[in-house]
Amino acid sequence: MTAKMAISLTVNGEEVETLVATRTTLADFLRQDLQLTGTHTGCEMGACGACLVLVDDHPVHACLMFAVQAEGAVVETVEGLTTRRAIADLQSAFHERNALQCGFCTPGMLVSAYGILAAGALPSREEIRDALSGNYCRCTGYEAIVDAIEQTARLRHEQEEQA
């Protein structure tokens, strides 16, 4: 019999209280139990970044964490960031710059990019590349992704200066 535990956490602003199998990863819990399929699973060993979500505001590989370890945490997925329009400008820039092809890596890229931009500074291309070093994309060649993040960072910076 699979052991289950009660957990209570916040996911995308909603309180979730449920029973979950102790061996279920946070990625599988989000995808299968909560139908938040924007969190993708690729390598399932912490190498590709497709499963990145925010846990207490830090990007975390959801494939490397058990759901029970998220007890009491505040989890935000790409769906949550989208709903509260925290990445609307980034998503437009990805679209404009053709920064996705198959889109498999895109949720993880957006979560990473959110983290880079949330730091508030104006990152160099080198810093953006560095921050994306844990995100694997097999389609775009990264140039357009870096362009989109750089463009968003610049626009946000200009808007802040004018405010």
* Sites of contact with ligand FES (CB under 6 A): 41-44, 46-51, 61, 63, 100-105, 137-140
**Structure-token match 């912490």, residue found:** 46
- Nearest-approach distance from CB 11 to ligand FES, in angstroms: 18
CB of 7 to ligand FES, least distance (A): 20
> CB count, 10 Å around CB of 94?
25
Q: How far apart are CA 66 and CA 28, in angstroms?
A: 9
Q: How far is the CB of 156 from ligand FES (least distance, A)?
A: 23
Q: Kindly state the smallest distance separating residue 120's Cβ from ligand FES, in Å.
A: 26
Task: Count the Cβ atoms, other than its own, within 10 Å of residue 118.
Answer: 11
Tell me the CB-side half-sphere exposure of residue 66, using CA atoms within 13 A.
Answer: 13
Over 96-158, what HEC string results?
Answer: HCCCCCCCCCHHHHHHHHHHHHHCCCCCCHHHHHHHCCCCCCCCCCCHHHHHHHHHHHHHHHH
Q: Which helix (H) or strand (E) holds 94?
A: helix 88-96
Q: Would the CA dihedral through 92, 116, 129, 153 be positive or negative?
A: positive
Between residues 13 and 103, which has the closer beta carbon with respect to ligand FES? 103
Q: Which residue, 12 or 135, is less far from ligand FES as judged by CB?
A: 135
Choose between 108 and 123: whose C-beta lies nearer to ligand FES: 108
Place of tokens 């019999």: 1
Residue with Cβ nearer ligand FES (31 or 81) = 31
CB of 1 to ligand FES, least distance (A): 28
